[in-house]
Amino acid sequence: MNLKRIARALKKMQVFDEITLSEEQIKNKFDEIKNRKPSDRELDRYAPCIFSLVKKTVKDRLKIETHYEQLLCAMAMHMGYVAEMKSGEGKTLSAVYTAVLNSLAGKVFIVTVNDYLAKRDCLGMKDVYDVFGISCTYNQESIEDKSAVYAADVIYTSSSELIFDYLRARLRSENFDYMDLAIIDEIDFVLIDNARSNFTVSEGKTETKYLKEYAIAREISRQLRLHEVEGPLSESLCLKTDAHCLFSHYDHSIVVTDRGLELLEKIFGTENFVSDFPLLYKALLDTLEAELFQQRGRDYIVRGNRIVLINQENGRLMPRCSREEGLQLALELKEGVLSDVLPKGGITMSYQVFFSKFRKLTGMSATVTQAEREFSEIFNLPVVVIPTHAEDIRVRHPDRIFRTKKEKYKALLRKASVLHAKRQPVLIVAGSEEESSAVYHMLSRNGIKASLLNAQNTEKEETLVKSAGTAGAVTVSTNLAGRGTDIILDREALQRGGLFVICLNRYDSRRIDEQVAGRAGRQGQPGECQFYLSLEDFIWRYASPKLLRSIKSVEDSSFYTPKFQAWMAKILDGLQNSIDEQMYEHRKMLYELDMIIDAQRTAALNIKEKFSSRRSIEEVLKKHLKEAISADVYAKIEAWGWDLTLNVLRNIAYYIIETEWAAYQDALIYTRDALLFQRLISSYRDLVINFLQQAAKMFEDFEKTVYNRIFSLYLSAETENISQGEKVYAD
């Protein structure tokens, strides 16, 4: 139904397609519409005309014939849909149509997954924008002065650089009035797969906080008796066990049991360890998280004496990101690479919160239908599937499931040898950096020359991805190969059957599986994909122990039959659906908690506005200060006059709010994390309501502290200091 609505809007293009115009006439027609200053709602009327102008320009300047499906995608994004468009179908060009149209009503950001793609796409499409007189540029981390970048009409940028620029502007209390339209390429990767990534900028550095507590927690953790639960944790399990701590990979949770709390209370001589040592308790949970769930080579690497995170969904390094402060410190202690400084007075924000600030948000990806509910409920974005231009002829072979990883790797070697002998290009996708290296060396030992692409050598990505489509090529990679870039097949490779993708793991989300499979058979080309799995793979930890024991007990004569293999594959489908549902609830909860924190920061910044006029200051004095203090303030105002008072109070308010917010934000995050650790005994909705109530009470205290400090400094200020240009708020 949605697709029919979009197609109807496109049908009106036929009238304009018959008109032949020169580039000068195209520019004049565009300017004529632009001078009318159309609003967002009025853009629909001009869409058929603008799209026709862009279509002709693309053909003349780029020598590219735009497919109907690309126009459907462009119109869908303009109309506020998230478009699912298969890999290799030309999403980059579709974004240009949407951008040109919407540049009539505001600034447009085309958001990519990295700086390389932002620069590549901008330079590749700039000729089109030039015809319309639309200024277009790309944003890069290496650019120091961003004023020219943000003066452009259309800006290509990586998602990370955009959010960092926004946070830096917020930190300097500068306006960032550019948030009109964001078109996000790989939108599911940015908003869903990176939902737990937090980005922080700071005004300086300070000595590491809480080092003593985390060092103690690390020592304590070694005295605890730990027990892994196969399946979800529950209160009944906590009551039955003799262990001090239970943990589960199934729901990524850790609980210190009553037996564990008794031990801690005995060690510290207290009757309530959690209440009396809240920071140490959080430090202990962070330490256990670092030890039990954070794996070197899979979740992070150590480079240059620092922790560098790995994005689990695409294998890329995230050198500018860190875990939340406590977990980051626990990881550094674990690896012995403790940094001597941490950010001071920073602002922290997630992608979900940041992109929700845009007036209009849209995007595209090859795999969004499985996240349709999430896009709808969290971002109010409907999803539409764009048909492929050419028939998809990729062959998806049935999964092969083995008992052990050793058996899986032996079968992989046999398959790779056969494919290599017939010179069909092969892409082997491993689940971790460690696995990719092990497979690469296994192939090399057996005479198969392969290329290796993982987080350690991403600088070679472009070269390796380009060569992966040549006949006879064997490429071993984590899941970073090909996201945003096409693997181009040479003629012989096409004749040999196209790219054969072998994936060695089922990912937690089926969307990631589809992205892996989508590396093969792009644009109607031949290609094949198959998953090689084992019962020792990580995903089976989500299965019930009873089910797994039952599967393992099956005789080989039945285990390897197509029927039983297909049944096990369906079990994995069910596990992934369960994980997806669980992770969706978790992401939604984090989003709502983070939105509460962001709303409070906005409210804190709005306090400055209460010092913009005589009337607003009088309201503050009446509402927030005691009568005696108000009398002293009025006496000083009478002596100084309102003009000087307004100037001084605005100056003080800016300083106090910024300094107090840094500590207050830490307190909010601590409160949020403490509640998250209690999620075993709290429903998702109860947890959010609990945090909202606690945060509201905390903000009342914060507001009271801010007002008292502002007027206290005002009363202590001297006119001599002001006349000499000294800061009246120096502590």
- The amino acid sitting at 369 is T
Task: Report if residue 458 sits inside a domain.
Answer: yes
Residue 312 clears pLDDT 70, i.e. is over it = no
pLDDT digits (tens, 9 = 90+) for 208-223: 567 888 889 899 898 8
Residue where a domain stops, chosen among 511, 542, 573: 542
Query: What CATH number is given to the structural domain containing 336?
Result: 3.90.1440.10
Q: Could you give the number of structural domains in the chain?
A: 4
Task: Report if residue 574 sits inside a domain.
Answer: no
Check if the beta carbon of residue 476 is closer than 8 Å to that of residue 428: yes
User: Dihedral of CA 298/304/307/311: which sign?
Assistant: negative
Distance (Å, whole) CA 329 – CA 609: 37
Same structural domain, 210 and 146: no
Same structural domain, 189 and 308: no
Residues 6+ positions from 375 with CB-CB distance below 8 Å: 82, 191, 368, 381, 382, 383
Token code pair at residue 132 = 């319309």
Residues 6+ positions from 704 with CB-CB distance below 8 Å: 624
Task: Report if residue 696 sits inside a domain.
Answer: yes
More confident residue, 667 or 153: 153
Which value, to the nearest 10 degrees, does the dihedral of the CA atoms of residues 329, 330, 336, 340 take?
10
Same structural domain, 680 and 706: yes
Task: Please compute the mean of the pLDDT values over residues 497-508 and round it to a whole number.
Answer: 93
Same structural domain, 449 and 595: no
pLDDT digits (tens, 9 = 90+) for 556-585: 999 999 999 999 999 999 999 988 888 888
Same structural domain, 291 and 399: no
Question: What is the pLDDT, as a whole number, of residue 486?
Answer: 72
Q: Which residues of 690-717 are buried (b: 16+ CB within 10 A; e: fewer)?
A: ebeebbeebbeebbeebbebbbebbeeb
Distance (Å, whole) CA 266 – CA 253: 25
Distance (Å, whole) CA 50 – CA 53: 5
Question: What is the pLDDT, as a whole number, of residue 189?
Answer: 87
Residue 120 clears pLDDT 60, i.e. is over it = yes
Could you tell me what percent of the chain has a pLDDT over 90? 42
Task: Report if residue 562 sits inside a domain.
Answer: no
Residue 726 clears pLDDT 50, i.e. is over it = no
Query: What CATH number is given to the structural domain containing 76?
Result: 3.40.50.300
| Mean per-residue pLDDT over the chain, rounded | 86
Task: Please compute the mean of the pLDDT values over residues 27-51 and round it to a whole number.
Answer: 92
Task: Report if residue 566 sits inside a domain.
Answer: no
Residue where a domain stops, chosen among 494, 527, 542: 542
Same structural domain, 432 and 471: yes
DSSP for 304-369, written as a single string? TTEEEEE-TTT--EETT----HHHHHHHHHHHT---SEEEES-EEEEHHHHHTTSSEEEEEES--G
Same structural domain, 57 and 191: yes
Query: What CATH number is given to the structural domain containing 678?
Result: 1.10.3060
Task: Report if residue 281 sits inside a domain.
Answer: yes
Same structural domain, 329 and 442: no
Task: Please compute the mean of the pLDDT values over residues 584-605 and round it to a whole number.
Answer: 90
Task: Please compute the mean of the pLDDT values over residues 508-518 and round it to a whole number.
Answer: 87
Count the neighbouring beta carbons within 10 Å of the beta carbon of residue 88: 21
Residue 724 clears pLDDT 50, i.e. is over it = no
Same structural domain, 163 and 257: no
Residue 730 clears pLDDT 60, i.e. is over it = no
Task: Please compute the mean of the pLDDT values over residues 674-678 and round it to a whole number.
Answer: 72
Residue 542 clears pLDDT 50, i.e. is over it = yes
Residue 137 clears pLDDT 60, i.e. is over it = yes
Cα angle: 35, vertex 36, 40; to 5 degrees: 115
Same structural domain, 373 and 304: no
Task: Report if residue 560 sits inside a domain.
Answer: no
Residues 6+ positions from 146 with CB-CB distance below 8 Å: 139, 165
Could you tell me what percent of the chain has a pLDDT over 70? 90
Distance (Å, whole) CA 88 – CA 589: 34
Pick from 151, 7, 165, 23: nearest CA to 72 = 7
Same structural domain, 209 and 326: yes
Task: For residue 60, give its domain range.
Answer: 2-203+351-385
Residue 419 clears pLDDT 80, i.e. is over it = yes
Q: What is the pTM of this model?
A: 0.86
Task: Report if residue 728 sits inside a domain.
Answer: no
Same structural domain, 73 and 60: yes
Question: What is the pLDDT, as a whole number, of residue 236?
Answer: 61
Question: What is the pLDDT, as a whole number, of residue 560?
Answer: 95
Task: Please compute the mean of the pLDDT values over residues 72-97 and round it to a whole number.
Answer: 93
